[in-house]
């Protein structure tokens, strides 16, 4: 089956998470994504600790062209490559691409149909020249407050703004490519961390308006449902269980022998049950406390009640659903170890999108790409020998 974006060429100047995520989405869907790297490689390759997973997660299905952008010959190579591309994607600090001569205003003059995507900290406005990180956006955008509270704001446990910012960048690129079919013209599109974060927190902004009360952080908020909690089981494990509809409440009460709760007129509706949480939760806690984790999960699954074991990221490597559904794809880590990484969480006509190209080595595709641009073999070797380009 041909891939949706087959034939689309993307040149990306990216590092860290947001820009690479955008390229990953396009690459997994079939675009040829060419990663422009300095001769020493994208510095994300060298991150350790909490950044160690960035490069292997967001850079499969890409080609690597390593080139010295400080040299005129290096810039000429990249300009020639861009001339063959449909899309340029970048996520460097404001003004960095313009200094290199690769800003949208300059490239538009030589390639009017180019779609140019910038991933920044902020869209146009008073903050647009600030440097931002995911954590900066979460702190100033209300997400850290909603997660941890005013006295101990806490960033979400994943790079949510970076990842979603890259996704929105990909959406904007696809919209611009579709519009180009009608107009013949490219355009500049942008995605940003702060605005992405505000979009995430919008539900809490509206909650405050609708209720007339300040939105409480997760550590303090009243649940929207009477049973929507994590419970400790008889074997001292933990399971999250939700009972979120009147039908589920009926199923729960009947299955666990609490006809008295079902018959109680003060517990007929969800708002009533939310008010009665101080009475309900100890009862539910007692019920689940007599069962093992597996017994709770088996029973909830039979009943159709929402439930979840409390998993760690490492647990997901052995998740039976991910294994059976093809939710992981194989890659080779820089140290040579073979492993699996999650793929895009979408399906098209029954098809999932995995790895076609492994993680690229620095400059792995330099010779191939230069040859495709018309450089003769001896000229390619001279560029490599002179340090203008690097080939793996």
Domain that holds residue 19: 9-200+326-390
Look at residues 268, 290, 312 and tell me which one is the last residue of a structural domain.
312
pLDDT at 221: 82
CATH number at residue 42: 3.40.50.10540
Look at residues 244, 277, 312 and tell me which one is the last residue of a structural domain.
312
Quote the CA–CA distance of 11 and 85 in Å, as a whole number.
7
Quote the CA–CA distance of 39 and 123 in Å, as a whole number.
31
Q: What is the DSSP letter of 46?
A: G
pLDDT at 234: 98
Q: Is 30 among the domain residues?
A: yes
Q: Is 220 among the domain residues?
A: no
Residues 236, 160: one domain? Answer: no
pLDDT at 83: 97
pLDDT digits (tens), the chain, 392 positions: 689 999 999 999 999 999 999 999 999 999 999 999 999 999 999 999 999 999 999 999 999 999 999 999 999 999 999 999 999 999 999 999 999 999 999 999 999 999 999 999 999 999 999 999 999 999 999 999 999 999 999 999 999 999 999 999 999 999 999 999 999 999 999 999 999 999 999 999 999 999 999 999 998 887 789 999 999 999 999 999 999 999 999 999 999 999 999 999 999 999 999 999 999 999 999 999 999 999 999 999 999 999 999 999 999 999 999 999 999 999 999 999 999 999 999 999 999 999 999 999 999 999 999 999 999 999 999 999 999 999 99
Residues 178, 240: one domain? Answer: no
Quote the CA–CA distance of 30 and 129 in Å, as a whole number.
34
Count up the domains in the chain and report the number.
2
pLDDT at 223: 79
In the chain, count H helices and then E strands.
Answer: 17, 12
Q: Residue ranges of the alpha helices (H) in the chain?
A: 18-28, 54-58, 72-83, 96-100, 104-110, 134-140, 143-148, 160-183, 193-211, 246-255, 259-263, 270-275, 277-288, 293-303, 320-325, 366-372, 377-385
pLDDT at 222: 77
Q: Is 360 among the domain residues?
A: yes
pLDDT at 313: 97
Quote the CA–CA distance of 23 and 167 in Å, as a whole number.
9
189 close to 169: Cβ distance less than 8 angstroms: yes
Options 162, 229, 298, 349, the catalytic residue: 162
In order, the DSSP letters of 291-330 are S-HHHHHHHHHHHT--EEE---GGGGGG-HHHHHHT-EEE
Q: What is the DSSP letter of 43?
A: G
pLDDT at 224: 85
Q: Is 86 a catalytic residue?
A: no
19 close to 166: Cβ distance less than 8 angstroms: yes
Stated as kind and residue range, the H or E segment containing 117 is: strand 115-120
Residues 146, 188: one domain? Answer: yes
240 close to 284: Cβ distance less than 8 angstroms: no
Residues 79, 171: one domain? Answer: yes
pLDDT at 381: 98
Quote the CA–CA distance of 147 and 153 in Å, as a whole number.
7
């Amino acid at each position: 089956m041909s891939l949706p974006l087959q034939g689309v060429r993307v040149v990306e100047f990216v590092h860290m998470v947001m820009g690479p995520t955008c390229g990953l989405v396009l690459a997994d869907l079939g675009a040829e994504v060419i990663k422009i790297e300095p001769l020493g490689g994208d510095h994300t390759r060298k991150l350790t600790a909490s950044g160690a997973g960035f490069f292997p997660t967001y850079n499969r299905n890409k080609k690597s062209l390593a080139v010295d952008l400080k040299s005129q010959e290096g810039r000429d190579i990249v300009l020639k490559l861009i001339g063959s591309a449909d899309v340029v994607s970048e996520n460097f600090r404001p003004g960095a691409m313009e200094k290199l001569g690769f800003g949208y205003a300059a490239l538009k003059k030589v390639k009017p149909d180019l779609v140019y995507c910038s991933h920044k900290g902020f869209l146009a406005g008073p903050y647009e020249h600030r440097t931002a990180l995911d954590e900066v956006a979460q702190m100033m955008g209300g997400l850290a407050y909603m997660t941890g509270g005013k006295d101990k704001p806490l960033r979400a446990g994943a790079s949510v703004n970076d990842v979603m910012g890259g996704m929105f960048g990909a959406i904007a690129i696809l919209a611009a490519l579709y519009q180009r079919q009608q107009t013949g013209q490219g355009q500049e599109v942008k995605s940003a961390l702060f605005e992405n974060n505000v979009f995430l927190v919008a539900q809490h902004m509206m909650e405050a308006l609708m209720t007339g009360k300040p939105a409480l952080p997760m550590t303090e908020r009243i649940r929207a449902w009477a049973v929507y909690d994590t419970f400790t089981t008889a074997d001292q494990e933990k399971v999250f269980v939700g009972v979120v509809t009147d039908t589920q409440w009926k199923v729960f009460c009947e299955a666990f022998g609490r006809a008295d709760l079902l018959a109680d007129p003060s517990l007929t509706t969800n708002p009533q049950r939310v008010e009665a949480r101080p009475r309900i939760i100890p009862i539910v806690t007692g019920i689940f406390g007599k069962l093992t984790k597996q017994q709770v999960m088996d029973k909830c699954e039979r009943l159709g009640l929402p439930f979840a074991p409390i998993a760690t990221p490492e647990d997901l490597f052995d998740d039976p659903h991910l294994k059976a559904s093809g939710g992981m794809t194989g890659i080779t880590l820089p140290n040579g170890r073979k492993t699996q990484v999650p793929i895009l969480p979408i399906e098209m006509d029954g098809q999932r999108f995995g790895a076609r190209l492994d993680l690229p080595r620095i400059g792995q595709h330099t010779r191939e790409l230069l040859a495709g641009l018309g450089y003769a073999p001896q000229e390619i070797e001279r560029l490599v020998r002179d340090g203008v380009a690097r080939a793996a």
